[in-house]
Amino acid sequence: MAPMRPVDVAAQTEPSTPQSRETVFDIQGLKASYGSNVAVKGVDLEIYRNLVTAVIGPSGCGKSTFIRCLNRMNDEVPGFRQEGKILYHGIDLYGDGVDQIEVRRRIGMVFQRPNPFPKTIYDNVAWAPRILGLKKDLDERVEKALKGAALWDEVKDRLKKSALALSGGQQQRLCIARAIAIEPEVLLLDEPASALDPIATASIEELMHDLKTDYTLVIVTHNMQQAARVADRTAFFSLDVDESGQGAGVLVEYDETGKLFTAPSDKRTEDYVTGRFG
Amino acid sequence: MRVSFQEELDQLEASLQEEGALVLRVLRGALNALEQRDVELADEVIAFDDDVDRLYLQIELGIQTLLARQTPVATDLRLVLAMLHINLHLERMADYAVTIAKLTKLVADVEPDPPLQQSLQEMGERAEEMIRVALDSFADRDLDRAETLVELDELIDRTNRRFVERVVELVAEPELREWVLRMVLVSRTLERIGDHAVDIGEQVAYLLTAEFREFTDASHPEEHV
């Protein structure tokens, strides 16, 4: 019998290093302001492909502003100004010649409150593909999106019924189906389960776990346990108040979720996740 | 600030220190019973273990409730996990004291060998010292103190080895044979109490550094810190 080879336990348990991952977003020195109010500043962070990245932090720390910068949702907000760079696969998202529509096609978004159109379930999902001229095999596309959002079995017999008749959790999954119908690469989710009951929340969390096989997910959540449950990596933002009393969101710590919730490096993270904040 | 949560954590830690104090009492009782061949005291030690068990269960339930209701994270999580382990180590130590008391009863009529008797008392005192160091290093969050348990354990191990060498000489003597064989178990038990104290020290180190590591690796003893 051949001698047994020693098993390198360390190599097996070592999480894959950031270097081995593909960077989707490379955020460099991001500063975002509304008029004279700075929402976030000095944010440097890389978001990796096919992972769930959670953004947590207290109210007013700029986490929603941050995630909205990732698909240029703030562009139309009066007085909004952004400095620094957000590179998406190396391309400056805010560079000259970058098509905002194309940005949002590749980087989809789901909001806090389910916001289905007052149309049929089918038309909700088919709407964006139609607009983009993706009319070929539309039925298949709608079915695939609804299956991807774990909603197909519940709605396949009533596709022509109003989406407004669905439960809150189903509506939110419909919004996810709507977002993935145009096959984006990234899904941004801004507190996607905060308006849902625990069972609907669990189904959204389970869905996020499945979706990361095909998509890169970034979720803003004020529910720390949700971040702990669903995210591979977690970024903690906090509010930094300067001498003049002006507050701005800053990135305090960004790490593997397990590390952040068992042995955070920064005292501010420790205080926040253990509930001793403030 | 989660005031009630912090109070629950503090209460659990206080209960754990109380359990530690009970373990020291029960061990002292067992050592005195052994030295004085006092069957009555041995019975008291055996009965006293119920108090330790009650406290052990109370702490276990407290931790279970705390995990379910407060979902501790970061330092809090490490503290709760460390307490879960320390609770078990303390309860085991008390069980070992009961073992000593039971063995004492079995040979109460037999004349002991004074040098061996002396060795056992020496090991017992070292075990008590180790329990105190383990509990204090936990209370004071003192990593250096926790790490000194390795050296203290080496002393207890050494006495145990000497004990066994003497036993090999004496085991041929018929009138001492039963006593000696029972006392090998007592010696081993005291040595194990020392090991559990080291394990508590390792939990203190985990709490403070967030790293799981054994102070000594039984299969690679030369690599210990």
**pLDDT at residue B171, rounded to an integer:** 83
Residues of A in contact with B82 (CB under 8 A): none
Which residues, 6+ apart, have CB-to-CB distance to B189 below 8 Å?
B96, B99, B100
**Contact B147/B84 with Cβ under 8 angstroms?**
no
Q: Is A276 in Cβ contact with B2 (below 8 Å)? A: yes
Residues of B in contact with A262 (CB under 8 A): 73-74, 77-78, 210
Q: How confident is the model over A95-116, as a mean pLDDT?
A: 92
- Taking the whole predicted model, whether its pTM rises above 0.90 is answered as no
Q: How confident is the model over A250-254, as a mean pLDDT?
A: 97
Q: Which residue of B has its CA nearest to A264?
A: B74
**pLDDT at residue B127, rounded to an integer:** 98
When pLDDT is cut at 50, 70 and 90, the band that residue A90 belongs to is very high
Phi, then psi, of B164 in degrees rounded to 5: -65, -40
Q: How confident is the model over A232-252, as a mean pLDDT?
A: 94
Tens-digit pLDDT profile for residues B72-92: 999 999 999 999 999 999 999
With CA atoms as reference, report the closest residue to B129 among B95, B104, B112, B154: B154
Q: Which residue of A has its CA nearest to B6?
A: A276
Token readout for B158 is 């050494």
Statement: residue A1 has pLDDT above 70: no
Which residues of chain B approach chain A closer than 8 Å at the C-beta?
A: 1-2, 5, 71-78, 210
**pLDDT at residue B173, rounded to an integer:** 86
**pLDDT at residue A242, rounded to an integer:** 87
Closest partner residue to A261 (CB to CB) among B1, B2, B73 is: B73
**pLDDT at residue A28, rounded to an integer:** 98
Tens-digit pLDDT profile for residues A207-223: 999 999 999 999 999 99
Residues of B in contact with A275 (CB under 8 A): 1-2, 5
Q: In the beta sheet, which residues pair with residue A110?
A: A189
Q: What average pLDDT values come out for chain B (225 residues) when binned by 10 residues?
A: 84 97 98 97 97 97 91 94 98 98 95 93 97 98 97 94 90 87 95 97 97 81 52
Tens-digit pLDDT profile for residues B15-47: 999 999 999 999 999 999 999 999 999 999 999
Tens-digit pLDDT profile for residues A173-187: 999 999 999 999 999
Closest partner residue to B74 (CB to CB) among A225, A274, A278 is: A274
Q: Is B73 in Cβ contact with A224 (below 8 Å)? A: yes
**pLDDT at residue B33, rounded to an integer:** 97
Statement: residue A103 has pLDDT above 70: yes
Q: How confident is the model over A120-125, as a mean pLDDT?
A: 97
Q: How confident is the model over A242-271, as a mean pLDDT?
A: 94
Statement: residue A204 has pLDDT above 60: yes
When pLDDT is cut at 50, 70 and 90, the band that residue A12 belongs to is very low
Q: Is B75 in Cβ contact with A261 (below 8 Å)? A: no
**pLDDT at residue A9, rounded to an integer:** 36
Residues of B in contact with A274 (CB under 8 A): 2, 72-76
Q: Is A278 in Cβ contact with B2 (below 8 Å)? A: no
Q: With 0-12 CB in 10 A as exposed, 13-18 as middle and 19+ as buried, what is A1?
A: exposed
**pLDDT at residue A197, rounded to an integer:** 87
Q: With 0-12 CB in 10 A as exposed, 13-18 as middle and 19+ as buried, what is B32?
A: middle
Amino acid at B146: A
Statement: residue A16 has pLDDT above 60: no
Amino acid at A209: H
Token readout for B137 is 């290093």
Substitution target in B1, B8, B9, B73 with the highest count of A β-carbons within 10 Å is B73
pLDDT-wise least confident of A50-64, A148-162, B150-164, B205-219:
B205-219
List the strands of the sheet with A91-92, edge to edge: A91-92, A80-88, A23-34, A37-48, A247-256, A233-241, A52-56, A216-220, A186-190, A107-110
Q: How confident is the model over A181-196, as a mean pLDDT?
A: 93
**pLDDT at residue A85, rounded to an integer:** 96
**pLDDT at residue A4, rounded to an integer:** 43
Q: Is A263 in Cβ contact with B1 (below 8 Å)? A: no
How far is residue A65's CA from residue A68's CA, in Å, rounded to a whole number?
5
With CA atoms as reference, report the closest residue to A67 among A94, A90, A47, A37: A47
Task: Delineate the domains of chain B, giving CATH numbers in brackets.
Answer: 2-223 (1.20.58.220)
Alpha-carbon separation of residue A252 from A70, A226, B103 (angstroms): 19, 19, 59
Mean pLDDT (chain A, rounded): 90
Q: Helix axis angle, B74-106 relative to B3-36, nearest 10°?
A: 20
**Residues of chain A above pLDDT 70, percent:** 93
**pLDDT at residue A18, rounded to an integer:** 56
Q: Is A278 in Cβ contact with B73 (below 8 Å)? A: no
What is the number of H-type helices and E-type strands within chain A?
A: 11, 10
Residues of B in contact with A261 (CB under 8 A): 73-74, 77
For residue A225, the distance in angstroms to the closest alpha carbon of chain B comes to 8
**pLDDT at residue B174, rounded to an integer:** 86
Token readout for A78 is 């009066």
For residue B114, the distance in angstroms to the closest alpha carbon of chain A comes to 49
**pLDDT at residue A10, rounded to an integer:** 39
**pLDDT at residue B222, rounded to an integer:** 58
For residue A275, the distance in angstroms to the closest alpha carbon of chain B comes to 6
B223 C-beta neighbours (distance < 10 Å), count? 9
Residues of A in contact with B74 (CB under 8 A): 261-264, 269-270, 273-274
Q: Is B71 in Cβ contact with A225 (below 8 Å)? A: yes
Closest partner residue to A263 (CB to CB) among B2, B5, B210 is: B210
**Residues of chain A above pLDDT 90, percent:** 81
**pLDDT at residue B87, rounded to an integer:** 98
Token readout for A258 is 């397990």
With CA atoms as reference, report the closest residue to A107 among A10, A35, A182: A182
Phi, then psi, of A102 in degrees rounded to 5: -65, -40
The helix (H) or strand (E) run that includes residue A64 is helix A63-69
**Contact A168/A197 with Cβ under 8 angstroms?**
yes
**Contact B158/B194 with Cβ under 8 angstroms?**
no
